[in-house]
Structure 1
Amino acid sequence: MKITALKTYLVEPRWLFLKVETDAGISGWGEPVLEGHAETLAAKIGELEDFLIGRNPLMIEDIWQSIYRNGCYRGGPVLMSAIAGIDMALWDIKGRYHDAPVHALLGGKVRDFIRSYCWIGGDRPQNLEVEAAALMARGFDCTKLNATRELRMIDCYREVDRIVAQMGALRDFVGDRMDIALDFHGRVHVPMAKVLLKELEPLRPIFVEDVVASSQIDAMADLAKFTSIPLAVGERLHSRYDFKRVFETRAASLINPDTAHAGGISEMVRIGHMAEAYDVAIAPHCPLGPIALAASLQVDAVCQNAVLQEQSLGMHYNGSVDMQDYLVEGTGFDLRDGCLYIPEGPGLGIEINEEFVVKQALKGHKWRAPEWRHADGSVAEW
């Protein structure tokens, strides 16, 4: 069997899908996207096309290593997201070739389902109680939200009090019926992160994600010693080599690498097993499309230390087009009582509605992250 074509589809709301075709009539799907840079990733896949056509798609590890090690430039968000999409598609092909789910080819699943969570509150947190109530009505007992809007490097205590009051009101509303994860999104700098962690600790967040920018791992390690709140990092780290410092410095109790950004299923499983050796949990980041989520669930299936799975169902970025729209009716995700069940179908376990994908690709998208500024006109972290 040989790879014959790679086809990319830029689709709403902000995703890029990849179809890898073979001369055996078996195709696989991947999601090689980087939010706000979908066209860049499409170009990168095109650049790799002549490198991949003619290769045996079942030789996943050899292909992974060939792309990663070809040339002197390795790692980074673009290359690793491109590898991720290709890797997903190859595992999808291999599973379909053997008529088995990916997790069966990786040693078999260690769980039947995984606890999941959805976002509330948007980029600048609002309507928290209403949205939390809607999630609980759907059976969820965990949610994640941005803890704050833009914040200056050293801000006033009036802003600190506003943040704590808003988060406190949410905690009072949900009580112990729902766990709350907070995302600082790298928009909080070290001085304010220390203040906020102390003030938010009584509200018992299940974790705080990107308490500072992921380039500040040493500072994160110091903050981890300062607080009892588990800290999480990973969506902006792209390989096991990026995670070495996280583990060695004990900067986080939980990591959330993204299957679409960190080298795909192959590298995610390696990262997950590496984390297990340090007694660190994994909760794959996935505010993306259905292919990325299906790939994440394959990782959750085989990593003993997987504890939570993010998903984008109904997420504020998605607008009128959501994950299930891209799937053949009746082949979507099994979501019950806030838990996602591990797919048992061949490959990634989902069936893409290719006709709808092609139709949506005719429209494409131009999604960009919002540009924020402080009151003084300086650029703020989003």
Structure 2
Amino acid sequence: MKIIRLTTFLVPPRWCFLRIDTDAGISGWGEPVVEGRAHTVAAAVDELSDYLIGKDPHHIEDLWSVMYRAGFYRGGPILMSAIAGIDQALWDIKGKDLGRPVYDLLGGPVRDRIRVYSWIGGDRPADTARAAMEAVARGFTAVKMNATEEMQYVDSFDKVERVLANVQAVRDAVGPHVGLGLDFHGRVHKPMAKVLMRELEPYKLMFIEEPVLSEYLECIPELASISPAPIALGERLYSRYDFKRVLETGGVDILQPDPSHAGGITETRKIAAMAEAYDVAIALHCPLGPIALAANLQIDAVSHNAFIQEQSLGIHYNASNDLLDYVSDRSVFAYQDGYVTMPTGPGLGITVNEEYVAERAAEGHRWRNPLWRHADGSVAEW
């Protein structure tokens, strides 16, 4: 079997899909994307195709090494996301060829379902509380929300009070036993992270995500010593070498690699195994499309330290298209009682609606994240 073609599709709301075709008539799908840089990642996929055309798609580990090591420059969000989507598609081909789910080829599942959480949003506490209640009514037992909008290095306490009011509203709405993740989103710097963490103790949070940007890993042990909840981060890290620094620095309890950014199934599984050796949990990052979610679940199925999975159904980004629009069988992600069942079909376990993908790719997208500024006019972290 030989690879004959790689085709990317930029589809709304902000995703990039990849199909790899073979001379045996078997095609595999992946999701190589950096949100807001989809065109750039698609260009990187095209460049990497020079290493892949004519090669045997079964040789995944070798092809991964070629894509990563054959170029003098390596790592980073664009290259690793391009590799990630290609890697997902190669595993999809291999699973389809052998008639088995990818997780069977990785040693077999350690679980048949995994807990999922729903992102909730809103401009005011009442809006966020309503969104939380709606998520719980749909069967979710855990939710995640952004902690704050823009926040200066040292900011006024009224912004802290707004955070607390929002969290309190959600807790009042759903009670003490629904899991609540609070995402600082890298918007908060160390001085205010220390203030927020001390004030958040009463709310029994499931985790605090990206209390500071990953560039400031040296701050994490200090923050961990005062944090009222496990610390999670990793969506903006791209390889086992990035995560090695996290694990060596300490203070992080939950790693959140994104298998569409961190080198695909091949690399993310290695990251999960590294985390297990440090008794650190995994909660894979996935605010993306159905191919990405299917790839995530293959890793969850074989990773003992995976405890919860992000997914994008109904997320605020998905205004024009949602998670299930691009799959032929919308029941493939069977959410029930706050869990999702692992897909049992061959490869990634989903069937992409190729006709609809082509239709929406004709429209495409040029999604960009918002540009925020502080009151003094300086650029704020989004």
Q: Name the TM tier (shorter chain).
A: over 0.9
Residues 228-377 of structure 1 mapped to structure 2, 5 A cutoff: 228-330=228-330, 332-377=332-377
Secondary structure, aligned partner of 1:36: coil
Does the CA-based 8 Å contact 2:326-2:356 persist in structure 1?
Answer: yes
Structure 1: gaps of 5 or more residues: none
Does the CA-based 8 Å contact 1:124-1:149 persist in structure 2?
Answer: no
Letter in 2 for 1:279: D
In 2 relative to 1, CA 158–134 (structure 1 residues): closer, same or farther, beyond 3 Å? Answer: same
Aligned to 2:81: 81
Aligned to 2:106: 106
Partners of 1:239 and 1:177 in 2: CA distance: 34
Does the CA-based 8 Å contact 2:102-2:348 persist in structure 1?
Answer: yes
Partners of 2:166 and 2:290 in 1: CA distance: 32
Letter in 2 for 1:311: Q
Partners of 1:79 and 1:199 in 2: CA distance: 40
In 2 relative to 1, CA 343–106 (structure 1 residues): closer, same or farther, beyond 3 Å? Answer: same
Partners of 2:214 and 2:106 in 1: CA distance: 30
Partners of 2:155 and 2:208 in 1: CA distance: 19
Secondary structure, aligned partner of 2:118: strand
Partners of 1:173 and 1:325 in 2: CA distance: 30
Does the CA-based 8 Å contact 1:343-1:349 persist in structure 2?
Answer: yes
TM-score w.r.t. length of structure 1: 0.98
Q: Deviations over 1:253-283 (max 9, x none)?
A: 0011101000000111100010000000000
Structure 2: gaps of 5 or more residues: none
Secondary structure, aligned partner of 1:288: coil
C-alpha deviation, 1:50, in angstroms? 2.1
Residues 4-19 of structure 1 mapped to structure 2, 5 A cutoff: 4-19=4-19
Partners of 2:318 and 2:70 in 1: CA distance: 36
Partners of 1:29 and 1:354 in 2: CA distance: 10
Residues 185-204 of structure 1 mapped to structure 2, 5 A cutoff: 185-204=185-204
Partners of 1:232 and 1:112 in 2: CA distance: 24
Secondary structure, aligned partner of 2:85: helix
Q: Give me the CA root mean square deviation.
A: 1.2
Secondary structure, aligned partner of 1:215: helix
Does the CA-based 8 Å contact 2:288-2:311 persist in structure 1?
Answer: yes
Letter in 1 for 2:164: V
Q: Deviations over 1:58-88 (max 9, x none)?
A: 0000000001001221111011000000000
Letter in 2 for 1:174: V
Partners of 1:129 and 1:308 in 2: CA distance: 22
C-alpha deviation, 1:235, in angstroms? 0.1
Runs of 4 or more consecutive aligned structure 1 residues displaced over 4 Å after TM superposition: 122-126
Residues 36-75 of structure 1 mapped to structure 2, 5 A cutoff: 36-75=36-75
Partners of 2:43 and 2:188 in 1: CA distance: 33
The count of residues paired between Structure 1 and Structure 2 equals 382
C-alpha deviation, 1:333, in angstroms? 1.1
Partners of 1:322 and 1:168 in 2: CA distance: 29
